[in-house]
């Protein structure tokens, strides 16, 4: 079944607003909300960074149906993985069957300001593997002792451990993390708007092949993708709104080592609006949105999480729910 979600960006909205947007997304018929977890935003001016677990708890109290998750938390540096497991277990106890945990290897801008020495990608990936293993054991076992390269636990217990399963999703932009998701995770997350071959030839095949080697069917892994869309009845307005997220159009080489929102804002501000818009599906035509989203569905993505760049998120949520979501549901009816 197709799940249609909403990306509630904590880098763009404060704690009260992000809770209200989650409530509004449920009212409009969205199936899930994915909240990002940042200590610092992508830009200093007008940026926000509410604590995701507090915001999810508040949103859970105000909603009844919509699934709530992180996209994504880094359970390896400023959080010990056991603390992340405790936080998510508490949320699942409060809102059973509605909570999921998305995790990734992280970004320097959220860790370096707290004194973390940012390691290379190999170490970050090794830490994520250990964290996922430790959290999985804490979710399922009574008392956990663990001796890893990076993390340890001695007779650790989650005393408020939910009876329902907490799905773990692993975010990936390359084959190693995608294979890890296929082997051990309940879900896989990536973001749209990059070279198509990355999805069709690298990420999706890596998940499927790893799942098969682990003796799991491809259906065991929920394939989720954040799809960056700018939709409005005014096409020019949809185009201009992407400027707020110009940092997403910076290349990995441009962003590497940047851990200051002021510097990230400066780099992003130097991009043209045409460059800033490259990661987004921009149109005032709902059919055009469907046609550009359809290839992701054909690849096997069944959990689509829509990220809109504009300031007026209620306008986006209402327009997308009325004009695009029904057409997408019809594709897989």
Q: Active-site residue among 11, 26, 92, 107?
A: 107
Query: How many angstroms separate the Cα of 15 from the Cα of each of 6, 8, 321?
Result: 16, 11, 23
What token pair was written down for 99? Answer: 């909570």
Q: What's the confidence (pLDDT) of residue 120?
A: 94
Query: How many angstroms separate the Cα of 328 from the Cα of each of 41, 59, 219, 293, 308?
Result: 31, 26, 20, 9, 17
Domain count, the chain: 1
Is the pLDDT score of 101 beyond 80? yes
d(CA 322, CA 315): 11
* Range(s) of the domain holding residue 139: 3-331
Sign of the Cα pseudo-torsion (275, 277, 283, 284, in order): negative
Share of the chain above pLDDT 70, in %: 100
Q: What's the confidence (pLDDT) of residue 1?
A: 87
β partners of residue 228: 307
Q: How confident is the model at residue 254 (pLDDT cuts 50, 70, 90)?
A: confident
Is the pLDDT score of 168 beyond 80? yes
Q: How confident is the model at residue 276 (pLDDT cuts 50, 70, 90)?
A: confident
User: Known catalytic residue: 287?
Assistant: no
Is the pLDDT score of 314 beyond 90? yes
Is the pLDDT score of 223 beyond 80? yes
Length of the chain, please?
333
Q: What's the confidence (pLDDT) of residue 244?
A: 86
User: Known catalytic residue: 38?
Assistant: yes
Q: Active-site residue among 11, 38, 244, 265?
A: 38
Q: What's the confidence (pLDDT) of residue 41?
A: 94
Mean pLDDT of the chain: 96
Cβ-count burial 186-220 (b if 16+ within 10 Å, e if not): bbbbbbbbeeeeebeebbbbbbbbbbeeeeeeeee
Is the pLDDT score of 255 beyond 90? no
Q: What is the pLDDT of residues 188-209, one digit of tens each?
A: 999 999 999 999 999 999 999 9
- Please answer whether residues 1 and 332 qualify as being in contact, where contact means their C-beta atoms are separated by less than 8 angstroms: yes
SS3 145: strand
Q: What is the CATH number of the domain that holds 88?
A: 3.20.20.30
Is the pLDDT score of 293 beyond 90? yes
DSSP for 44-73, written as a single string: STT-----HHHHHHHHHHH-SS-EEEES-B
Q: Which helix (H) or strand (E) element contains residue 19? A: helix 15-27
Is the pLDDT score of 131 beyond 90? yes
Between 155 and 272, residue with greater pLDDT: 155
């Amino acid at each position: 079944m197709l799940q249609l979600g909403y990306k509630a960006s904590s880098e763009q909205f404060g704690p009260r607003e992000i809770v209200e947007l989650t409530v509004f997304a449920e009212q409009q018929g969205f199936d899930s909300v994915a909240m990002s977890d940042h200590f610092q935003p992508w830009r200093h001016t007008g940026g926000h960074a509410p604590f995701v677990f507090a915001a999810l708890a508040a949103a859970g109290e105000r909603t009844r149906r919509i699934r709530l998750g992180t996209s994504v938390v880094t359970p390896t540096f400023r959080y010990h993985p056991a603390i992340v497991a405790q936080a998510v277990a508490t949320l699942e106890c409060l809102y059973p069957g509605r909570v999921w945990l998305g995790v990734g290897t992280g970004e320097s801008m959220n860790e370096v300001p707290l004194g973390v020495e940012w390691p290379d990608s190999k170490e970050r990936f090794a830490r994520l593997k250990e964290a996922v293993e430790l959290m999985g054991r804490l979710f399922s076992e009574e008392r956990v002792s663990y001796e890893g390269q990076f993390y340890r636990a001695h007779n650790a217990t989650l005393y408020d451990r939910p009876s329902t399963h907490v799905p773990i999703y692993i975010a990936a932009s390359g084959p190693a993390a995608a294979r890890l998701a296929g082997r051990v995770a309940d879900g896989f997350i990536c973001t749209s708007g990059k070279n198509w071959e990355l999805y069709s030839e690298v990420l999706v095949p890596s998940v499927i092949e790893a799942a098969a080697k682990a003796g799991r069917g491809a259906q065991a892994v929920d394939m989720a993708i954040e799809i960056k869309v700018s939709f409005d009845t005014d096409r020019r307005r949809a185009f201009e709104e992407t400027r707020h997220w110009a940092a997403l159009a910076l290349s990995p080489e441009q962003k590497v080592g940047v851990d200051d929102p002021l510097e990230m804002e400066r780099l992003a501000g130097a991009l043209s609006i045409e460059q800033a818009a490259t990661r987004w599906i921009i149109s005032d035509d709902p059919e055009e949105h469907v046609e550009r989203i359809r290839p992701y569905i054909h690849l096997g993505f069944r959990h689509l999480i829509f990220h809109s760049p504009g300031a007026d998120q209620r306008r986006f949520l209402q327009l997308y729910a009325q004009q695009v979501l029904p057409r997408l549901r019809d594709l897989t009816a």
